Copies of this chain bind each other. A is one copy, B any other.
Amino acid sequence: MAARAMRNFGLTDLRLIAPRDGWTVDGAGMQAAKDAAAGAGDIVAGAPVYPDIPSAVRDLSRLYATTARERGQGKPVVTPAAEMPLIHHRISAGQGVGILFGAERTGLTNDEVSYADAVMSFPVDPGFASLNLAQAVLLISYDWRKAAFGDVSPIAAPPPDAPASREAVMALFASLETALTAAGYFSAPEKKDVMTQNLRNIIHRLAAGEQDVRTLHRVVRALSEKGSRQ
Contacts and interface: CB of A to CB of B under 8 A. Distances in A.
Interface string A89-127: 000000000000000000000000000000101111110
A90 B76 CA distance: 34
Nearest to A120: B153
A138 interface: yes
Contacts of A135: 5, 8, 135, 138
Interface in A25-80: 38-40, 67-70, 72, 74-77, 79
A22 interface: no
Contact of A153 (B79, B139, B149): B79
Interface residues of A, number: 51
Interface in A172-227: 209
Nearest to A154: B126
Interface string A1-20: 00011011110000000000
A122 B123 CA distance: 20
Contacts of A151: 79, 81-82, 123
Contacts of A142: 122-123, 139, 142
Nearest to A160: B74
B69 A158 contact: no
Nearest to A131: B8
